[in-house]
Chain A
Amino acid sequence: MRYLARRLGLLLLTGWAALTVNFVLPRLMPGDPIQVMFARFQGRLNPAAANALKIAFGLKTNQSIFAQYFTYLGHTLTGRLGFSLTYFPEKVTTLIGQALPWTLGLVGFATVVAFIVGTAMGALAAWHRGSALDSIMVPTGVMLSAMPVFWIGLLVLYVFAFKLGWFPVGGGATGGQGLASVSGFGAIISHAALPAITLTAVSLGGYIILMRNTTITVLNDDFVKFARAKGLPDRVVASRYAARNAILPNFTSFALALGFVVAGAIFIEYVFDYPGIAYLLYQAVTSLDYPLMQGIFLVIVLGVLIANFLADLLYVLLDPRIRVEARS
């Protein structure tokens, strides 16, 4: 329990630190949102609008920095992230809410698939070490994980969308179709296919190699030899002894990867015009939409922190050696 409390404390502490950094950073920038708006409109916004915008955005410039900080903390904790400057009067939470499912769906799916398939392939390669399977899978994995994601993305896009026309060129789904309708769902799948394949391909390699190498190490461990000496079927040795132990480091990198889903998605979403949160972040950055940027950063940071926290918890379940530490 102390372990849990410590982890939770750490989560809260880092969460608070992230919130504070998120508060401080935009304030280190010169200029306020109104100036940014004017810069963005490049002379096409009536300067008389400044006053209206200040009221609309609820900017209280006469508040002390501490008062602003506590207002910010209060608002953030209650999920009030303010309005986007680009998409006013859309709320930041609404925009994130619209974009996040796309990213979680696409990248989450790809990451999970890459983890499962990569781990299985790595274990298989290790089990059949030296076989043809092994000697194909490992160089392929190395090659895939070494290639830049946008490069593979463009390649895949060119071949399967432009040349062969099997998949749409970009976007999340053809416009106007809701998530709910059946045809809409088909469109979503066909639009997500290429980015998902790309993302899976590039992250697959890492899992294959890591799993293969740890499995080979584990296969030389005494407990695997002893398991054989116990006359256990190969299936049991491979799964409950070798893979079950070899998966631990893979699981750590998986948990980290989950936290970086958004960051990792930027290239993919850009290349494939995918309407996810990474693309939204890109837009927010290019159009200086600070409230939106802050909101997205918050989501990313919390994502990383929570993924790490959950990984810690899950690790406790997976590895009894940690569990003992956790109890003490």
Chain B
Amino acid sequence: MKRNTRRHHYARRRYVERLMIGLMRGALGLAALALASLLLVILVRGVNALSWAMLTETPAADFYLGGGGGILNAIVGSLALALGAILCASLIAVPGVLYMHTYGKGTRHVAIVRLTLDVLWGMPSIVFGATILTVLLWLGLRTSLLAGILALTLVVLPILARTFDEVVRMVPTDLTQATLALGTTRLELARMLLRQSMPGLMAALFLAFERAIGDGAAVLFTAGYTNTLPRSLLDPVASLPLAIFFQLGTPFPAVQDRAYAAALILTVLVLVFGMFGYLALHKLGRHVIR
């Protein structure tokens, strides 16, 4: 009798184990299916409308009615916005994070900075866009590349900072001790930490770039939209996410097709930068101690 219940018990545990494995595989399979359908749809629908002109020309006057031209304005605009945002964000994030691991290590201030970064990470980018727009209105300015960069900086800053933070956290304490034991100041320690975490920083930069180039909500109010290439920081500028969004919103199938092509271009850009980030993490850093 007793043996029997025990056998039942084992059978039940084995059954639960198999059930959970099935559920887990099912969940991953579902996600894989969704990803496959996403990539496939973007590829199939995008390739149709993709042309050399899409990549190399700015929109003609009747572009949004189905006329000629391309979305070079959006491609260049997006790259400019993302690059600018990464530059601004890293100017704050890199020294800020190094501070968190040297001078500020273990203080309450640093704990609050981390919390702030987590809050900013979760903040909808439309909120950043709306805030920057309000400031623009106060100052009597119009939408511009600069304003778009500022809004995207807010989007990217927490991503860059928290990712880099985790990278620096992975630096072995042995390195900190070995450096300090030579009589270094904390500034020199910060430099050494930066050196050791350089590949991780590069990966974080690419991740941030990927996010900056894909975010449409932050630039919606701030960067504006134009059919020309940006000439100065104070001109409005087009961006890929908005190019997709606006073209999909028109009633013309030909224009909608071009939205799919633009989505394909954006996807490829994101994949390429994601790949760079992966390579940076695994192939860079000749002197880094592993």
Do the two chains bind? no
